[in-house]
Amino acid sequence: MESNSAARLKAELIEHNVSGSFDAGNFALLTKKPRLIDTLANQLLETHFPASLQNNIADELGFDIQHTLSQRDPKFCQMVLRAYNYQCAICGFNMRHDNAPIALEAAHIRWKQHQGPCEVPNGLALCAIHHKAFDRGSIGLDENMRIVISEAVNGTSAVVQQLFWDYAEKVITLPQSKSNYPNEKFIEWHQTEVFKKA
Ligand SMILES: [Zn+2]
């Protein structure tokens, strides 16, 4: 979890609408080489946000990013999917194309970009939709591994109801071995830093 002083600082920055800017020399450089802006945006996104969110943020802010296929640990994905029996911990989605799982991903609970380790207790097997919603803070977990849904979630289709609200307060499907359960300190980080209650 972030220290109190860091959390306070962040709240103050938001409250006072603090923004930054470049000094004259760097500003001139960026004006002369506009491609540099996308490169910098790319680096900032890869350093601070999980891959599932990078494209969305870039689209919202109008940056053109090219993925440099960030260093994912292939073992992490395999270990997490195996621990969760190759199905989404929330909805149980487990579609395969022959033997290959489709749209099933290993999510980091505490983001790798925020010192989250590539270990099973920091992972969750999630389908692509629940992964994206988890990283965006639309869904979270409480200390009893129950699913919590952000009040910001909306959508009128029956599928949204089935994929989100129907799982509210349900316990996720946990791994066989307790040593693989999500670690509460990572869950706490996600609750504080990512999940958006309202
Ligand atoms: Zn799912």
What digits encode the pLDDT tens for the residues 132-185?
999 999 999 999 999 999 999 999 999 999 999 999 999 999 999 999 999 999
Q: Would the pTM count as exceeding 0.85?
A: no
Q: Name the nearest CA neighbour of 141 among 103, 170, 175.
A: 170
Whole-angstrom distance, CA of residue 116 vs CA of residue 123: 9
Q: Are 95 and 101 in contact (CB under 8 A)?
A: yes
Residue 61 has a pLDDT of 77
Q: For the beta carbon of residue 91, count every other beta carbon within 10 angstroms.
A: 20
Q: How confident is the model at residue 1 (pLDDT cuts 50, 70, 90)?
A: very low
What is the bridge-based pairing of β-strands 139-141 and 100-101? unpaired
CA 192 to ligand 1 center in whole angstroms: 22
User: How many angstroms does the Cα of residue 105 sit away from the middle of ligand 1?
Assistant: 10
The rounded percent of the chain whose pLDDT value lies above 90 is 62
Q: How many Å lie between the centroid of ligand 1 and the Cα of residue 126?
A: 5
The residue among 69 and 13 whose pLDDT is bigger is 13
71-87 average pLDDT score: 90
- Give distance in angstroms: CA of 131 to centre of ligand 1: 7
Closest among 141, 157, 118, 145 to 197, alpha carbons compared: 141
State both tokens at 140.
């979270």
How would residue 66 be classed by pLDDT, with cut points 50, 70 and 90? low
Q: How far apart are CA 90 and CA 115, in angstroms?
A: 24
Helix ranges, the chain (H) = 4-15, 24-32, 35-48, 51-61, 74-83, 128-136, 158-163, 184-193
Q: Ligand 1: distance of its center to the CA of 161 in Å? A: 13
Non-local (6+) Cβ contacts of 53 within 8 A are 132, 135, 136
- The strand pairing partners of 97, in sequence order, are 100
Instruction: State in Å: Cα 87 to ligand 1 middle.
Output: 8
Tokens 């970009």, residue located: 113
The two structure tokens encoding residue 46: 């890869």
Q: How many helices (H) and strands (E) does the chain have?
A: 8, 6
24's tokens: 């004259």
Give the pLDDT score at 42. 78
